[in-house]
Structure formats: structure tokens, C-alpha cells
A and B are shown apart, each in its own frame.
Chain A
Amino acid sequence: MVLGLMEIRAPDAEPLPPRVIPAMAQALEACLPVRVAGLKPLAAPPEALDGRRSQWSAPALLEAVLASLPDGIPKALGVTGVDLYIPMLSFVYGQAQLNGRAGVVSIARLRQQFYGLPGNDALLEERARKEAVHEAGHLFGLVHCAAPGCVMRLSVQAGQIDLKGEALCEACAARVREVKE
């Protein structure tokens, strides 16, 4: 199956470091039964920005990804440098339609600089790989997993992302195989 991967650009966002999208593509192909196709960058719709929160609505960006999907691309993941939220929560690292077509991942809170720490590109790439596979896992019907090392484990702090592994646990991998079959 082909999985589209695109950058979502916003005026106030810092550009994605060049290694992030290739690292994500490599991880997605290693963990899921997909072939990644790079799609052209998407401009974030201005109405997705909540000026009071200085954050972008994840559901709105998700809609934009969905609307932009070209023929022949059944599922796609948008990657952005802006900070995402859903109305109920103060932030999210990403969001995806469970068993659906579109997902989004933000790297804003994956950067060490967000927490006032010196930048670390290797750590950022590692976190980006994990979050990309995590959101794409939702597109394949996977829900959060309780296995400590599984990439589908829920993370709500950067430290929790660092603790989990980069791959699906056996049970989640088996479920993806079932879905594919």
C-alpha cells in the first residue's frame, strides 16, 4: 500500500530540518506494510490557527490533508513544525483517523529547544520516527498499546516518547498483518 507523506507549511513555522521527512519515511517502510510516496507540500489553511492559543487545530489540518489527497494515495500523513491542539486538550503531538485516510504529526514539541534545552537533531529524528509510525499505526486501525516498548504506547510527555521503542510490539504487528490480509 502507498502511504503519502507531506510537509504542512505555515507562515510562523520553522522549516523542518532536512533529515526529518526522510527519516520518517524510512521508519514507516520498516515498521508498516507501506511504500512511502513523497507528496508536494501543503499550505496550512489560515483558519486552522487559533490566535488566542497561538496553536493550530489538529482536526482542521487533518481535514486539509484529507482534501489534498491525490488519486491513488489511499492514506497520507502530514508533518508540520507548528504546535497542534484539539479543543479539549492543551496540545497534541499528532492526530490520525482511526482506520482512516489522514493523519498529522507535529515536531514542535519534539524539539529540545521547546523545553529550553540545546537542540539535538539525532534525538529529534528519533522522536519524529516514533511519532510518524505511531500516527500511521492509527491509520491501520491500531489503538494505544499497553506494552512498554511498543511504539503504539500513548505518550503525553517527550520523555515518554524517548522511553518507548521504535517498532510495533508483536501483537500490534500481527494486527497490522491481519488488516493487510
Chain B
Amino acid sequence: MKPQWQILVVDDEEIMCESLAAWLREDGYLVDTASSGREAVELARRTDYAIYFIDLKMPGGMDGIDTLMEIRRLHPDASIIIITAYATVDTAITAIKEGAQEYIVKPCNPEEISLLVSRIIKVKRLQRENLILRKKLQRRYQFHDIICKSPRMQQVLDLAREVASLRSTVLIHGESGTGKEVVARAIHFSGNRAQKPFIAVSCAALAETLLESELFGYEKGAFTGAAERKKGKFELADGGTIFLDEIGDIGPKLQADLLRVLQERSFYRVGGTEEVHVDARVIAATHKDLRAMVEEGRFREDLYYRLNVIEILIPPLRERREDIPLLAGHFVERIAHELGKPVAEISEDAMRLLMDHSWPGNVRELENAIERALVSCRGEVLASEDFAFLRGNGPARFQAPDNMTLAEMEKRMIEATLRRTGGNVKEAAASLGIDRSTLYEKLKRYGIER
């Protein structure tokens, strides 16, 4: 069934109006007619038509161009096709200047008109889908969709909310899987750039030269394979936000280029001589200690301060365990629905297991664990057995023993490893990740016998 797109045909000749309307109705459109510019504007006030066919020459003080201008004022996105019995270049130029999408001369070929209407409708359908997707994205990535109740996380969100409408650069710190990109998206979609693009780039995923062309684009012929000019992520994010994930992984050359973009708000495409100006808000994220990297000389201090205008620290999940039940419940609901499983809740035992786990992979690990458990779950309640993999393969929680020095700990570790290898030094050294000579030296120092 075709969607019911609405079209208005405006012509003072009734036969012209009605016959075009009848033709378009046969194509499945809902068509209204108006015999004057004034009547058309009245109808346009009440209905948002997808396409307007307007005759250029109409009596009564309001010709096609006047009608076109008034309708464009009411509906700036409307598609307007001007029709006339005779074409002159001047009127065509005026019509297009005033915002007509097309200009056709009657009588026109039926193929021409069918193609024209279907082409416009195709674009309108894409625009509508785009709008719906944008709204969905906006709804999905706003702050109220970030699930948490811990005071530390609430503070993070309060700060993020405050800075959403600023242009200042934001640096988000957090371990892998804590939701750095989720927070970055929430900042973007809650601020005044929400209607513009949010472009995410993982700096760790690409080699430095590739990342450079990815970020700044390139000119035709800049390198082998550069057949066309390509816009980079900064240009694509113009007016919106660029999210640079794993910023601690970029090399010295890109650090310098990035500093320039942050200072000058402009850059050159790879192989280009023309300066490109952009207005993109930068949100960077890392799981690394950038301050330590600055002290070690591995990250530019000036770039660090440019990025670190607003700093947001996302706590790891193990430091906000009160969020685990909420998050787990949310994931069960969402993933069970996606998998078509009737699972509704998590048993008390299973929840205890989730609360005790250290979650080194943070929220992402929790989400994956819930999905894995749901896949194998046969009942309607997730039981602790469904999370057995967390006990077996998960990294053991490390408990530091009281009153023990590092040297004592090392000695005990070496003794335990040698016991396991049956006194085989080569095997023990490999297992401990040190050279055989280093192990011999330590055996001697601690007086360990094989």
C-alpha cells in the first residue's frame, strides 16, 4: 500500500487542475486542487502538502511566483513545481531563485511527470526516515537513558548536563566499558548541537597515516588510491560533535595536528593547500592516565590542557555496585525482548553473584554476561548457574594479604610456580614472564632451592 502523500494542484483553468489531479490520483496520491493563489495559500495553511504544482500565470493579483513565495514562507521544506504553457529563461530563473524545485512546460510527457513526482517522493521518504531515525537516536542517547543511582555517577551526569550546551572541549576518563561514548552522545544529544552530526572515531583502531586521512580527509591524488577528494571526520562533524575515543593512542604527528585544529579551528586535508574551517565540538576519551603520559613525555602537555578543559571521570562499575541491579534488570528486559525470550527477572543467588563479581570489563562486560546467560537460560528466571562462566573464566579477585612485603610475595610466587613445573626453571621463567637468568638470580637472592 502506498503511503498517502498529499499534493496540491493550483491552476485557474479548472480542466487543467482536475485532469492533472485525476492523473496523480491514479498514481495513489491524495490530491487537492485550488483555482487561485489565494485559495492555495488558504489550503496550505491547513495542510502540509508534500508537493505543490503551481501554474505560473494566474489572474487575481497573485500569480505563480507570489503563490510560491507565500507557500515557501509557510512550509520551507515543501517541494514546488512551477508549470507554465510557455517557457522563458527569465521566469524559470525567477521561479528557481524563489525556491521552486522544478519548472515544467505543459504539455509535458507523461513519463516526465511520473518520474518527477516519484523522484521527489523518494527524497521526501528518505528525509522522513532520516528525521525519525534522528529522533530515535536523540531519545536513546539522552541522560535519562543512562541507568544509574550511585551518587558518583549522578555527579558525573550533573556535570555532563551542565556542559552539554557549551562549546568547550571535554575529556572523559574511564576504564574500558564504563560508557564513555554513551556519556559523550548524551552530551551531544542534550545540547544545542543535537540536530547536527555526532561523529565517533576510535583513534586506537587505525594506523597513524590512515587516521590522519580519516580525520582530516584528503585531496584527489594525495596518495595512491585517492581517486576522489574525501571529507574527513572533522568536516563531517561540522556544526556538531566529534568524539575522539582512545585519544591516548595517537602519535606525536597527530597530536600536533590536533592541537592546531583545537587552536585554530581549521586544518588542511591530506595533500591539500586550502585551509578548511570547521566548527566541531571535540569530546575526547581515554582509559589511559594522560597526565602520567605527559610527565613521561609521551603526550603533548599543550594538547593535554587544550583537551582537558572540562574533565569527566566515569567510575568503574566495581566502585558503584549499587548500579548493578538496575543495569542488570535493564539489560535483561532489553536483550530478552531482542532474543524473544520470556525471561523476566534475575534470581537472588544470581544477583549476589553479579554483585560480587569484579567486572573488569565494566558495564559492557555486564551486558555481555547478561546476553550470554539469556542465550543459555531455559526457564523464566536467570539463575546463578546461568552465570557459571563468571566463576570459571572470570579473573579471580585479588586479595592483598596482610603484613607481607613485595619481596616475600615474589618469593612465594616463584616457589609456587616451581612446584607446579616440578622444578623446571625454563618452564617456570616462561610462566612468570621473565628471563631464565633473571629467575636464577632471584632464586639465589631468596635462597630458594629447586
A-side residues, CB < 8 A to B, are 53, 57-59, 85-92, 95-98, 138, 143-144, 146, 154, 156-157
Contact = CB atoms under 8 A, between A and B. Distances in A.
Q: Residue among B2, B20, B28 with the most chain A CB within 10 A? A: B28
Interface string B20-55: 101101111000000000000000000000000000
B15 A57 contact: yes
A89 B107 contact: yes
15 contacts: A53-B107, A59-B18, A85-B107, A87-B15, A88-B107, A89-B23, A89-B106, A89-B108, A89-B113, A90-B110, A95-B23, A97-B22, A144-B26, A144-B28, A146-B2
B111 interface: yes
Given A87-B20, A95-B23, A95-B26, 9 more contacts: A86-B19, A87-B15, A88-B83, A89-B109, A90-B109, A90-B110, A91-B110, A95-B22, A154-B27
B110 A92 contact: yes
B22 A88 contact: no
Given A138-B26, A143-B27, A144-B28, A87 B111 contact: no
B13 interface: yes
Contacts of B2: 143, 146
Interface of B: 2, 13, 15-16, 18-20, 22-23, 25-28, 83, 106-111, 113-114
Contact of B23 (A57, A92, A146): A92
Contact of A144 (B27, B108, B109): B27
A64 B50 CA distance: 33
Q: Residue among A92, A97, A98 with the most chain B CB within 10 A? A: A98
A95 B25 CA distance: 11
B357 to A, nearest CB: 54
A62 B2 CA distance: 26
In order of increasing CB-CB distance, the 3 nearest A-B pairs are: A143-B28, A86-B19, A156-B111
B54 to A, nearest CB: 13
Contacts of A59: 15, 18-19, 22
B26 A143 contact: yes
A136 to B, nearest CB: 12
A98 B111 CA distance: 20
A156 B107 contact: no
Nearest to A157: B111
A156 B22 contact: no
B28 A87 contact: no
B19 A90 contact: no
B313 to A, nearest CB: 55
Given A88-B16, A88-B83, A89-B110, A143 B25 contact: yes
Given A154-B114, A156-B111, A86 B20 contact: yes
Contacts of B22: 59, 86, 95, 97-98
Contact of A88 (B26, B28, B106, B111): B106
Given A92-B23, A96-B26, A143-B2, A87 B114 contact: no
B19 A88 contact: yes
A96 B18 CA distance: 12
B13 A87 contact: yes
Nearest to B23: A86
B55 to A, nearest CB: 10
A88 B2 CA distance: 24
A59 B18 CA distance: 9
Contacts of A53: 107
A85 B23 CA distance: 11
A58 B19 contact: yes
Contacts of A146: 2
Contacts of B13: 87
Contacts of A58: 19
Q: Residue among A89, A138, A154, A156 with the most chain B CB within 10 A? A: A89
A53 B23 CA distance: 19
Contacts of A88: 16, 19-20, 23, 83, 106-108, 113
A181 to B, nearest CB: 18
A132 to B, nearest CB: 15
Nearest to A134: B26
